[in-house]
């Protein structure tokens, strides 16, 4: 087992995945340092909460302004460290965060305003109830590399606006983007101790989990998510888990072939397929199957693979060797089990260390890992189906349940199919863009996770609900207090009948007896 000293001198290396160039080496935070950072956050949090929502939203406004000013610089850094094309860094990271900030500024006030809870029960009419939404305290965020800016930023902003302090452990592959988020927030007016970053790999994440945080927001793989949930359970730490996906795309027999094939290609290859919401399984009605495949192959052939900073690039590199090997293994196994490789199917070492050709596979089946495990690479795996029933059965035959899409010219039919798919989100005639709808909750069911980020649900995760109740008759003893006895029991029977007996006559008959309880309090 590593000692604290050994962990303290470990480093993470930030690398450009397109070239292998080392960008920076950073010391990993030791468990002791993580504890100290979290304690500091805990001390700073009450003043941040006391600052008030108006001032906190003003700081978010300043953050939005600075991010807008620095959009080119930030998107460039994201591309250098995560490899994705610059335009994707702009749209799926910078724009998503700008709009999430807009949403929080517009909605935090209504969300945090005490919410009246009207009482329907007769015995409770003399009380007024409110829901108060209070910050947890210190929120730990552990994030992945594939959306290194938008994922932690949207979560952190929701935590901050609701009055929490935040400690972020970014992925070891994208520490620089995590540190850049911190400098933007600090420059906007968030105090240093209220948003802090601890750099490191899994050990730093585990140390954060083991520190006195009040909630952990985790985004990453199912395997790590399970470890996190187990560790959290030992101290009953609340956790939000945003895990992997194996999203199905259902192309029904009346779908627009031209539109659906473009969507499939973009949905499978966006960010080199390293998107939790990627199209990982594509099911196409038998009547469209061959023309759909032909069109997808033709469109895939036109895509330009290269370095993300080249403005012509549409598909960048994968993040690292390990991820590339997962894709190679799954594609090779699918081939061996009878899948047809219609495009791609191998790495592109001539472009750099981590490039994989955009790949179209036909005739895949659920016996293949490529249809059961997350691939997280630029692979469009396509299988035919006979009717809607079969498509729904195939879509639901998965351990995952993050999102899905249904493609049809008939919106009502699409919605009917969508309702039967087990997933956190189902889009009709679009894919992935739900992540950019700031109002929409984001999260999954089954192995895809627990809880929701984004939107009102995302804010809800950042607060604990307190129910505040005030009695409007403080000088009156409650009917249900002591003074039990046979007469009281009859009165209570009548009181229950008065409220719930069938028929107005029966209810009114029990009124005089039940009202007696109001006068008979003995203790």
Given 242, 314, 373, 461, the catalytic residue: 242
* 423 binds ligand NAD, rule: CB under 6 A: no
Q: Decide if residue 313 touches ligand NAD (CB under 6 A).
A: no
Considering the rule CB under 6 A, would residue 245 count as an interface residue with ligand NAD? yes
| Member of 92, 146, 175, 300 binding ligand NAD (CB under 6 A) | 146
From the list 85, 140, 205, 306, which residue makes contact with ligand NAD (rule: CB under 6 A)?
Answer: 205
In terms of CB distance, is 85 or 144 closer to ligand NAD?
Answer: 144
Q: What is the nearest approach in angstroms of ligand NAD to the Cβ of residue 174?
A: 9
Which range touches ligand NAD (CB under 6 A), out of 89-97, 137-145, 340-348, 472-480?
A: 137-145
For residue 28, indicate whether it is catalytic: no
Among 33, 45, 188, 219, binds ligand NAD (CB under 6 A): 219
Residue 291 — left, alpha, or beta (φ > 0 → left; ψ -120 to 50 → alpha)?
A: alpha
Considering only 85, 152, 178, 244, the residue that binds ligand NAD (CB under 6 A) is 244
Q: If binding means CB under 6 A, how many residues of this protein chain bind ligand NAD?
A: 31
| Binding status of residue 449 toward ligand NAD by CB under 6 A | yes
Phi, psi of 253 (to 5 degrees): -65, -15
Within 8 A by CB and 6+ apart from 83, the residues are 16, 17, 18, 272, 308, 316, 317, 318, 319, 354
Percentages helix, strand, coil for the chain (3-state, rounded to 5) are 45, 20, 35
Are the CB atoms for 436 and 82 separated by under 8 Å?
Answer: no
User: CA 257, CA 52: separation in Å to the nearest integer?
Assistant: 52
Spell out, one character per residue from 276 to 295, where the chain touches ligand NAD: x when CB under 6 A holds, - when not.
Answer: x-------------------
N-terminal to C-terminal alpha carbon distance within the chain: 64
Using alpha carbons, list the distances in angstroms from residue 145 to 79, 101, 270, 445. Answer: 11, 21, 15, 22
Among 112, 402, 434, 517, binds ligand NAD (CB under 6 A): 402
Give the bridge partners for 247, in sequence order.
Answer: 279
Q: By three-state DSSP, how is residue 483 classified?
A: coil
Question: Measured between alpha carbons, how far is residue 518 from residues 126, 502, 508 in Å?
Answer: 13, 24, 17
Contact by Cβ (8 Å): 424, 247: no
Nearer to ligand NAD, 29 or 255 (CB): 29
Residue nearest ligand NAD by beta-carbon distance: 205
User: Which residue, 380 or 423, has its beta carbon nearer to ligand NAD?
Assistant: 423
Q: Which of 81, 155, 172, 314 binds ligand NAD (CB under 6 A)?
A: 172
Of 35, 62, 107, 221, the residue at the interface with ligand NAD (CB under 6 A) is 221
211 binds ligand NAD (CB under 6 A): no
Annotated catalytic residue 434: no
Strand-pairing partners, residue 135, are 463
The reply on whether position 307 binds ligand NAD by CB under 6 A is no
201 binds ligand NAD, rule: CB under 6 A? yes
| Residue 93 contacts ligand NAD per CB under 6 A | no
Scored b (16 or more CB within 10 A) or e, 451-468 reads: bbbbbebbbbbbbeeeee
The continuous run of DSSP H or E covering 257 comes out as helix 257-269
CB of 43 to ligand NAD, least distance (A): 24
Contact 155, 217 (CB under 8 A): yes
Q: Is 478 exposed, middle or buried (0-12, 13-18, 19+ CB in 10 A)?
A: exposed
Residues 321-380 that bind ligand NAD (CB under 6 A): 374, 376
Specify the stretch interacting with ligand NAD by CB under 6 A; choose among 56-64, 181-189, 222-230, 470-478: 222-230
264/453 with CB nearer ligand NAD = 453
- Pick 314 or 373: Cβ nearer ligand NAD: 373
d(CA 29, CA 204): 6
| Residue closer to ligand NAD (CB basis): 16 or 211 | 211
Q: Is 305 in the site for ligand NAD (CB under 6 A)?
A: no
| Alpha carbon distance 206, 169 (integer Å) | 10
Quote the crossing angle between the two packed helices 257-269 and 289-301, to the nearest 10°.
50
Least distance between ligand NAD and beta carbon 242 (Å): 4
* Residue 270 half-sphere exposure toward CB, CA atoms < 13 A: 22
Give the nearer residue to ligand NAD in terms of CB position, either 163 or 225.
Answer: 225
- Cβ closer to ligand NAD: 204 or 284? 204
The set of catalytic residues is 242, 276
What residues line the site for ligand NAD (CB under 6 A)?
A: 142-147, 151, 169, 171-172, 201-202, 205-206, 209, 219-221, 224, 227-228, 242-245, 276, 374, 376, 402, 444, 449
């Amino acid at each position: 087992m590593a000692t604290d000293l050994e962990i303290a001198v470990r480093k993470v290396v930030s690398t450009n995945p397109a070239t292998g160039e080392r960008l920076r080496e950073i010391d990993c935070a030791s468990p002791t340092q993580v504890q100290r950072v979290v304690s500091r956050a805990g001390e700073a949090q009450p003043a941040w909460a006391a600052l008030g929502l108006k001032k906190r939203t003003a700081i978010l406004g300043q953050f939005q302004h600075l991010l807008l000013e620095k959009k080119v610089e930030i998107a460039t850094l994201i591309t250098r460290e995560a490899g994705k094309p610059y335009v994707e860094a702009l749209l799926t990271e910078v724009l998503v965060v700008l709009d999430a900030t807009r949403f929080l500024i517009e909605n935090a006030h209504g969300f945090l305003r005490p919410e009246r809870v009207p009482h329907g029960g007769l015995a409770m009419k003399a009380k007024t109830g409110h829901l108060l939404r209070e910050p947890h305290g210190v929120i730990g965020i552990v994030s992945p590399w594939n959306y290194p800016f938008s994922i932690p930023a949207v979560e952190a902003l929701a935590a901050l606006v609701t009055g929490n302090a935040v400690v972020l452990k970014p992925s070891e592959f994208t520490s620089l983007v995590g540190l850049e988020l911190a400098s933007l927030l600090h420059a906007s007016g968030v105090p240093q101790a209220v948003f802090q970053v601890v750099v490191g790999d899994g050990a730093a994440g585990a140390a954060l989990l083991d520190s006195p945080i009040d909630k952990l927001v985790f985004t990453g793989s199912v395997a790590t998510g399970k470890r996190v949930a187990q560790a959290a359970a030992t101290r009953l730490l609340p956790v939000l888990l945003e895990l992997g996906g194996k999203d199905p795309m259902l192309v029904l027999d009346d779908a627009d072939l031209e539109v659906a094939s473009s969507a499939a290609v973009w949905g499978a290859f966006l960010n080199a397929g390293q998107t939790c919401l990627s199209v990982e399984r594509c099911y196409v009605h038998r009547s469209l199957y061959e023309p759909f495949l032909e069109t997808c192959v033709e469109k895939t052939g036109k895509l330009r693979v290269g370095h993300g900073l080249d403005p012509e690039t549409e598909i960048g590199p994968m993040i690292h060797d390990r991820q590339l090997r997962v894709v190679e293994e799954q594609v090779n196994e699918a081939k061996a089990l009878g899948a047809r490789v219609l495009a791609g199917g191998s790495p592109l070492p001539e472009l750099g260390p981590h490039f994989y050709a955009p790949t179209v596979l036909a005739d895949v089946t659920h016996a293949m890992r490529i249809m059961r495990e997350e691939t997280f690479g630029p692979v469009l795996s396509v299988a035919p189906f006979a009717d809607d029933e079969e498509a729904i059965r195939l879509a639901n035959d998965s351990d995952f349940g993050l999102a899905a899409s249904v493609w049809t010219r008939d919106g009502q039919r699409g919605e009917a199919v969508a309702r039967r798919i087990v997933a956190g989100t189902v889009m009709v005639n679009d894919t992935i863009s739900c992540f950019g709808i700031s109002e929409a909750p984001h999260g999954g069911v089954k192995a895809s996770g627990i809880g929701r980020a984004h939107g009102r649900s995302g804010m809800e995760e950042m607060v604990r609900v307190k129910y505040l109740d005030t009695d409007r008759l403080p000088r009156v003893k409650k009917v249900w207090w002591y003074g039990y006895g046979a007469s009281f029991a009859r009165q209570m029977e009548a009181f229950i009948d008065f409220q719930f007996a069938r028929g107005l006559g029966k209810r009114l008959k029990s009124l005089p007896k039940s009202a007696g309880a109001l006068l008979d309090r003995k203790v």
